[in-house]
């Protein structure tokens, strides 16, 4: 998207990451002048990268000088962050810093990646009108950050704010929950906690990046969008789909009751407090795994946006890249950075 027929200068905070790298690729292909601001160097675009901590107002102001648009993808998002205050420092204080930098440099256009975590657990096709009820610090701090950006936008009629709330994002190179699930299935160590009938919304990384780029074209004012790729699969169906893509014979997974999973997660949480080590299991992760988390993205998909890749193809690409032979991986070669 080119504004007024001209390419724009765009800063992508958090642009070295999984989604950010794909977004930068799309922006460059569209002809924009892009700068990546991140605490971690970009493996794919080192010549565009400048060290920038979103909590450092002077660094953010400096990188934003002469910029038309700020994307903020920088976030503290893992389940095992310690201490919990880091969520507030990066997600909330970072939002304040970005808004202060935008004020100081005269930027009137911000695109912020929030999260469906603002809605909480147990959601059933939640759309943007549902009252947010975050259940953890990540969701709570993302919701507070949204309020900071909205207050910034409200101070001038000429400002543009786009808030995108992606669901769980899958794709090549991501080492998040989907990869961990597939790896457990691939190694034969997967155990289903609960009935497996709970449904999950997902999104493919190339589609999320494409929608973030599409957001450049939204007009003045505030715009809030969930982003999800359909269909929503229940956990039983998702496990069988992954097994099929891995070339494994169909078989029902071994299941343990939800209460037993919570007990095991609580034990790992206690060990984490004592040892200061992270463990693959926690109460939060068990609750997230067993919860029904479905979200409605009709607003995004009726905005004129067309997802470039369907979800099932995204699952196939991800599995092929991560677990299949080198020959299979060549067909779906992604950008290098995660």
287-324: b (≥16 Cβ within 10 Å) or e: bbbbbbbbbbbeebbebebebebebeebbbbbbbbbbb
Contact 60, 37 (CB under 8 A): yes
DSSP 124-164: EEE-TTSPP---SHHHHHHHHHHHHHHHHHHT-TT-EEEEE
Residue 134 CB neighbours (<10 A): 18
Distance between CA atoms of residues 279 and 112, nearest Å: 30
123 to 116, 119, 252, 295: CA distances (angstroms): 10, 7, 26, 7
Spot the catalytic one: 138, 179, 204, 227.
138
Nearest to 35 by CA among 105, 88, 92, 95: 105
Query: d(Cα 14, Cα 54) in Å, to the nearest integer?
Result: 8
In the chain, alpha helices (H): 18-29, 57-64, 85-87, 93-105, 137-154, 177-186, 205-214, 235-245, 258-275, 283-290, 298-301, 311-323, 326-331
Determine whether 45 is an active site residue.
no
In contact, 265 and 285? CB cutoff 8 Å: yes
Centre a 10 Å sphere on the Cβ of residue 337 and count the other Cβ atoms it contains: 23
Catalytic positions: 138
């Amino acid at each position: 998207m080119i504004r007024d027929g001209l390419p724009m200068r765009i800063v992508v905070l958090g642009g070295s990451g999984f989604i950010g790298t794909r977004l930068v690729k799309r922006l460059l292909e569209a002809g924009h002048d892009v700068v990546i601001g991140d605490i971690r160097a970009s493996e794919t675009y080192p010549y565009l990268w400048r060290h920038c901590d979103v909590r450092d107002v002077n660094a953010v102001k400096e990188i934003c000088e002469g910029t038309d648009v700020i994307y903020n993808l920088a976030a503290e998002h893992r389940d095992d962050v310690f201490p919990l205050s880091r969520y507030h420092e990066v997600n909330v204080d970072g939002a304040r810093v970005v808004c202060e930098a935008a004020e100081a440099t005269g930027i009137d256009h911000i695109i912020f990646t929030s999260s469906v975590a603002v809605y909480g657990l147990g959601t059933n096709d939640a759309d943007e009108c549902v009252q947010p009820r975050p259940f953890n610090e990540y969701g709570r701090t993302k919701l507070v950050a949204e309020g900071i950006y909205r207050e910034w936008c409200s101070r001038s009629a000429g400002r543009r704010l786009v808030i995108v709330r992606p669901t769980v994002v899958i794709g090549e190179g991501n080492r998040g929950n989907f990869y961990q699930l597939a790896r457990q299935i691939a190694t034969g160590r997967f155990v289903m906690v609960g009935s497996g009938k709970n449904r999950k919304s997902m999104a493919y990384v190339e589609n999320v990046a494409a929608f973030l780029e599409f957001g450049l074209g939204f007009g003045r004012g505030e715009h809030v969008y969930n982003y999800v790729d359909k269909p929503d699969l229940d956990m039983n169906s998702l496990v069988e789909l992954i097994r099929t893509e891995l070339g494994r014979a169909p078989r029902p997974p071994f299941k343990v009751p939800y209460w037993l999973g919570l007990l095991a997660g609580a034990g790992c949480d206690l060990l984490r407090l004592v040892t200061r080590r992270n463990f693959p299991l926690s109460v939060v992760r068990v609750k997230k795994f067993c919860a029904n988390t479905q979200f409605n993205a009709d607003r995004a998909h009726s905005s004129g946006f067309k997802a470039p890749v369907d979800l099932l193809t995204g699952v196939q690409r991800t599995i092929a890249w991560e677990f299949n032979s080198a020959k299979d991986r060549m067909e779906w070669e992604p950008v290098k950075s995660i």
